[in-house]
Amino acid sequence: MKRAVWLGIGMLLAVTGKVAAQQDVQFSQYIFNGLSVNPAYAGYQENLHLHAAYRQQWAGFPGAPKTGLVSLDGLTNAREDRVGIGGQITWDKLGPQESTSLYGSYAYRIPMNEEGDRRLSLGIGFGFTQYSLNGSEYEYRDANDPFVPLGKVSTFVPDARFGVFYTTPLSFIGVSVLDLFSVARDRKLYYGNGVTYTTLNKTRHLYVSAGTVLELSENVKLKPSFMLKEDFNGPANLDINTFVLLADRLWLGGSYRTGIKALGKSNLQTNLSSNDAVSVMLEVFANDNVRIGYSYDFMTNGLSGYQKGSHELSIGILFTKENPELSKVRCYKYF
């Protein structure tokens, strides 16, 4: 088992690289939808799982990011539930820039014990992103400025992702790399008048996350977790989360997000604040198969006085098998 875990992590580190670019989309409620950051999550809940989320970041700030996501994953029932597949559509808008991504994920799930409740999953995802730039949303002085596109211009870019996900009934650890092809080409939009327009480039991102569930009593459980996000260029982001589960129906929790120096980067500004945001989250199970979530982020950096926080809504629906006992572990309530 240790050899398999370190082999997967080694493969991830071997494909990482350094380029200057933007950060990937950030969801506060990622802990309830691992597919958004790791393709090896596909099929983890051992039932068909539908997840949707919408995030309005920095409410009241002109051109602030808006993001929507819909994902679906489950098992193929091939070779004793060893194969998980999933699909995800993500839409993101930042000022005049817009991107729409479509990814498919495949995960091979290796049982690590006889009961099958400890598994190591290796996952890979392929897809593409349409990057768009809308010139009508710019404010400019010269009405005929050739460097401002007339209307919307766009381009399609293929990409891939890879991940490792190890789970037990009460814990998990995941490592993944997204945007594997990001250094293979520039994110440029070509316009008919011969002018080349560029959008914010994406870079490879490394995600490391882990969490566990502690049973404090029959009706109270504690779930601490963390996620480290590294883009190999700017400060890394660290999320520290804590949730309390009451009577298997209500999750109450919070998260602290901060920037940290990692990988010995020497080019970072020393006068930047590492504080980012504090989140409060509420997750309610309407029944055993439907989860509804809301989170609110308080900015703790220099933007705090210029916006009204970030709102995020999510819903998760689990389509269970006809015989619920066929699901070996009901981990979906925890992760």
Q: Which of 296, 253, 302 is nearest to 276 (CA)?
A: 302
Segment 240-253, tens digit of pLDDT: 999 999 998 999 99
Question: pLDDT at residue 333 above 70?
Answer: no
Sign for the CA dihedral angle at 21, 26, 32, 36 comes to: negative
Return the structure tokens found at 182. Answer: 């990001």
Segment 291-303, tens digit of pLDDT: 999 999 887 655 5
Predicted model pTM: 0.81
Segment 94-106, tens digit of pLDDT: 878 888 999 999 9
> How far apart are alpha carbons 11 and 30 in whole angstroms?
24
Give CA separation, 302 vs 186, 256, 260, 272, 309, in Å. 31, 16, 17, 10, 12
**What number is the average pLDDT over the span 259-265?**
69
- Domains observed in the chain: 33-319 (2.40.160.60)
- Please tell me the predicted confidence (pLDDT) of residue 156: 82
Mean pLDDT, the chain, whole residue set = 79
Segment 269-293, tens digit of pLDDT: 555 555 567 889 999 999 888 999 9
Segment 200-242, tens digit of pLDDT: 566 788 999 999 999 999 899 999 999 999 887 777 889 999 9
Least confident of 118-127, 189-198, 221-230: 189-198
Residue type, 332: Y
